[in-house]
Chain A
Amino acid sequence: MLKKLKYSFIAFAILLFFGSMKLFAAAAAVSDTLGTTAKPEHAGTLPEVYMVLPFVILLLMIATGPLFYKHFWEKHYPKVSIVLGVVVVVYYLAVLNDEHSLMHTFAEYISFIALLSSLFVASGGILIKVDKESTPMLNVLFLLFGAVIANVIGTTGASMLLIRPFIKMNRERLKPYHIIFFIFVISNVGGALTPIGDPPLFLGFLSGVPFFWVIDNVWFIWIPALLMILLVFYVFDKMNKTEYEKIEYSGKIQFKGFKNLGYLLIIIISVFIDPAVIPGVPSLAPLPFGIREIIMFAVVYFSYKGADTEILKANEFDFEPIKEVAYLFIGIFATMIPALQLIANEAHALGHKLNAGVFYWATGGLSAVLDNTPTYMNFLSAAIGKYSADIGTTLTVTNKMHVMQFVAADQIYLQAISVASVFFGAITYIGNGPNFMVKSISERAGIQMPSFFAYMVKYSIVILVPIYAVIWLLFFYGKG
């Protein structure tokens, strides 16, 4: 079964790749792997509205599968994702004759999965042991540290690395809210400052948003949001009066797997190894990947092969979470192409009715219940569509120069989209990839986590939505 799935995955990737090669051969002289330079636009070849259906079906199944038909979903999600993706690929090849969109998307997918898998595997070979008694203040400092680190090794890497020591520290007085605030802070909100922090921001970077734009324009929103969440956590933790047997703590912090820290550093450096960022870096066009992706995949291989098996055992390391991301996202990336193009077109028409507040709540609302990465791309596409209408020209999210032009001219919308897509990912377990990973690690440790709806009703809606409303009032209300 697994072999069959692997073959279908590879076949799908090849279909995407070779289906797109024709156009790239023609454009190779001037294009790089991510389509940073001039390319023929596919103006006038918008997809039919019904082609959004595969995207909608896939996202709905991702949301409902683990909850309502878990065993079917666990067994068949790769097939579902690939079949829905193939429908869109065939439509673009056979009906629209638009190979460029496919190739561009495939290159983005390769970059995306290279970053996530390398962070996932490299951090899986690191073990941190904190033998200290937890206190509310120590927990707050730990979460704050995790929030900062999430911007360096991603919310995925930080979650993988820190959830175990956090559970260990709190093992005598652990309640589900500890894990939930960990998800709020480290798996989501914390990672809003850099493109490495959270997948939507990385996709924005790949699409042309400058690397340091995010920290320059989001830090002053990040700080109050984080402080408000940590304050609520402190109150919760202070009220936790669980009685427990006192244990002797050594106060030591142990760190194992230094070698993998080096691999994390390599990943971070390699993010910048892009012809568009550092002139002189060779482009491997027409291949849909570059030197950066080769380095990241090499890190996956070497960090796993060279990892200490005792650490992997202690971390209960398993490829399943990243395999799931790889399968689901190849479907998401393929099926979201029509949605991106149609939304940009609609925003072009409705531009004057959309302000920053609308972008904030709409991006946030959808990021909460769908995955935040495609949501970010859809609303970035919409914002560019609106900007196009304002300046009377046609810009697209699939052209890096257009994205750069938009970012330089109209920052408030991208601020709203960036903040909302990252922050609101914490509203549900499915809002962001690491949420489910943290939930799963906690359950494997024996912690009974709240159900999908209990998580929302008891925690995220009650705690986060008011905080996000304050952020809206302070930064986006009546703007744009």
Chain B
Amino acid sequence: MNTIENALNKNLNGLCYGNRIILPFNCTFLKVIIEDDIITDFSPASKGIYVREKDDFTELYFLEINNVKETVSKYENIKLVAVEKGDNLFDLKNHKKIALYIEEKHNVKIEKTEDDILFIE
């Protein structure tokens, strides 16, 4: 199982194909923000997102978007609030804020959100 911290330290990239984003870590999602959609429903009945977990990676399917790369432009990002597997979900200090930038050749750059970027949990 890969951790968020490990992916950030090793500068691992994710992948993006159509409406699917593959992240090289496992975690529990609390919030995903894409454009002006704030997604907090991660249940199987969610209309906005479907999350599938594999041993070493996590897949996100944005159900209302055909192509994430066309939707999220050059300087925009997808924001995530997530908690490492095994960490205490209820301790706010464990909540990690991450930004995903969609790049060329299906690459997804994963960054901790900088101070400049607005991100209110």
Contact = CB atoms under 8 A, between A and B. Distances in A.
A439 interface: yes
Interface in A55-104: 71
Nearest to B40: A448
Interface string A135-171: 0000000000000000000000000000010011001
A33 B13 CA distance: 53
Contacts of B119: 445-446
A315 B74 CA distance: 12
B35 interface: yes
A319 interface: yes
Contacts of A446: 31, 33, 38, 79, 81, 118-121
Interface string B50-75: 00000000000000100000000111
B75 A444 contact: no
Contacts of B31: 446
A346 interface: no
Contact of A443 (B36, B77, B116, B117): B36
Interface string B83-113: 0000000000000000000000000000000
B118 A445 contact: yes
Interface in A438-461: 439-441, 443-448
A464 B96 CA distance: 39
Interface in A351-399: none
B5 interface: no
Contacts of B79: 444, 446
Contacts of A174: 120
Contacts of B117: 313-314, 316
A132 interface: no
A41 interface: no
Contacts of A313: 75, 116-117
Contact of B114 (A167, A314, A441, A448): A314
A444 B36 contact: yes
Contacts of A315: 75
Nearest to B77: A316
A185 to B, nearest CB: 19
Contacts of B33: 443-446
A177 interface: no
A127 interface: yes
A443 to B, nearest CB: 4
Interface in A170-216: 171, 174
Interface string A313-329: 11111111000000000
A313 B37 CA distance: 19
A320 B73 CA distance: 9
Contacts of A127: 116
Contacts of A444: 33, 35-36, 76, 79, 118
Q: Which of B33, B114, B118 has the most CB of A within 10 A?
A: B118
A401 interface: no
Nearest to A174: B120
Contact of B75 (A168, A312, A447): A312
Interface of A: 71, 127, 129, 164, 167-168, 171, 174, 309-310, 312-320, 439-441, 443-448
9 closest Cβ pairs, A-B complex = A314-B116, A445-B118, A443-B36, A446-B120, A440-B36, A312-B75, A317-B75, A318-B73, A313-B75
22 contacts: A129-B116, A310-B116, A312-B74, A312-B75, A314-B114, A314-B116, A315-B75, A316-B77, A318-B73, A318-B75, A440-B35, A443-B36, A443-B37, A443-B38, A444-B33, A444-B36, A444-B118, A445-B33, A445-B118, A445-B119, A446-B33, A446-B38
